[in-house]
Structure formats: structure tokens, C-alpha cells
């Protein structure tokens, strides 16, 4: 059985988990992430900035990627519904245990 079919059948009671599983299953494995990093590296390490050392270029690529991820995360957090506090189980009281 395909994983997306399994998620549709067995995760119907857990809407948010089903949504997350469906998103993860939809991801494809490819080299596009590497290609994107190389593209950003070529953009940073251009003819104007060719005196940058390799370590500096790698740090700038990481910083650029993290800024993009931070923007995406902020957009995602703005659209996600807040966690329902009623679903969080209460902590047991230590007084009931006799300790």
C-alpha cells in the first residue's frame, strides 16, 4: 500500500498529523537543494567578490539560506492554527501519590 493511501485511511482522526504526513510523503528526493546552494554560491562568489575565501563564501551561503528559511517559517507560523490548550494533558499532582 502506498504511504499516502495509508495516511488517508488510518489518520482520519488526526487531521493535522494527516496533513503533515501527506506533505512529507509528497516530497521528492532530488539534487535540487544542491543546485540551489551552488546557484547561491555562484551569486555570492561573483567577479566582484572573487577575493572572498571559501570559508567566508560557505558562511554567507548558509546565512542566506537561513534567512530564506526564517521567512518561510514565519509565513507558515502566521497561517497555522494555534495549539489547542485543551488537548494538553494535565500534570499529575504529587500530593495524590503520597510522596
Instruction: Please state, in angstroms and rounded to a whole number, the distance separating the CA atoms of residues 7 and 15.
Output: 10
Looking at the whole model, is its pTM more than 0.85? no
Share of the chain above pLDDT 70, in %: 80
Label residue 81 left, alpha or beta by phi (over 0 means left) and psi (-120 to 50 means alpha).
beta
pLDDT tens profile 84-94:
555 556 676 76
The predicted pLDDT at position 10 comes to 84
With a cut of 70, say whether residue 44 has pLDDT above it. yes
Contacts of 71 (CB under 8 A, 6+ apart): none
The predicted pLDDT at position 80 comes to 64
The predicted pLDDT at position 67 comes to 94
Amino acid at each position: 500500500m502506498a504511504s499516502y493511501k495509508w495516511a488517508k485511511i488510518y489518520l482520519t482522526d488526526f487531521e493535522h498529523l494527516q496533513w503533515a504526513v501527506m506533505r512529507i510523503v509528497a516530497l521528492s528526493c532530488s539534487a535540487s537543494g544542491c543546485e540551489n546552494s551552488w546557484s547561491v554560491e555562484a551569486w555570492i562568489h561573483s567577479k566582484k567578490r572573487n577575493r572572498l575565501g571559501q570559508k567566508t563564501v560557505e558562511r554567507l551561503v548558509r546565512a542566506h539560506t537561513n534567512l530564506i528559511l526564517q521567512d518561510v517559517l514565519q509565513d507558515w507560523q502566521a497561517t497555522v492554527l494555534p495549539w489547542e490548550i485543551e488537548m494538553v494533558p494535565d500534570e499529575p499532582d504529587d500530593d495524590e501519590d503520597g510522596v
